[in-house]
Amino acid sequence: MPRRGSIGEEHFHFRNALWGKTRWTLFFGINPMPQRKMTWKGRIEQRIESLLPYRRVLSDSDETCFDQMMQAARQRRSSSAMLLCEEPLNVMLLSMLLESYQRIESLERRLAELRLILCRESLD
């Protein structure tokens, strides 16, 4: 039993099943159930969805490139979750940059191979 003059449990109607989150928030100004933190995957997907209006105005070839960049960000979600970063766009850009660098490296290797083949054919 609460002390005289204190606000007891029965005043707040904790046992009342009709006392919902909305009423609690309106009466006390606080939310009794804190919002869950969004997962890193959810944050990345939310950021990608926020960029969809930009995607809609791109040309077909740019749309394809945009989709590939977003796919690169999705593929590296688990490694990007290791960074303590509030803004997922920073990590998404890093993932896209890494994907671009890998493609450039691959193209440079292929170019070197083709040059070597051309040199051999010109000597024959």
Distance separating alpha carbons of residues 44 and 38, to the nearest angstrom? 10
Query: What confidence score (pLDDT) does residue 89 get?
Result: 84
Distance CA 41, CA 113 (A): 39
Q: For the chain, which residues make up each domain, given as ranges?
A: 1-35, 40-109
Q: Could you tell me which residues come within 8 angstroms of residue 43 by beta carbon, excluding any fewer than 6 positions away?
A: 88
pTM confidence score: 0.58
The percent of residues above 90 in pLDDT, for the chain, comes to 35
Phi-psi bin for 35: left (phi > 0), alpha (psi -120 to 50), beta? Answer: beta
Per-residue pLDDT tens over the stretch 51-101: 999 999 999 999 999 999 999 888 888 777 777 677 788 888 888 999 999
Query: Taking all residues of the chain, what is their mean pLDDT, rounded to a whole number?
Result: 78
Cβ neighbors of 12 (< 8 A, separation 6 or more) are 19
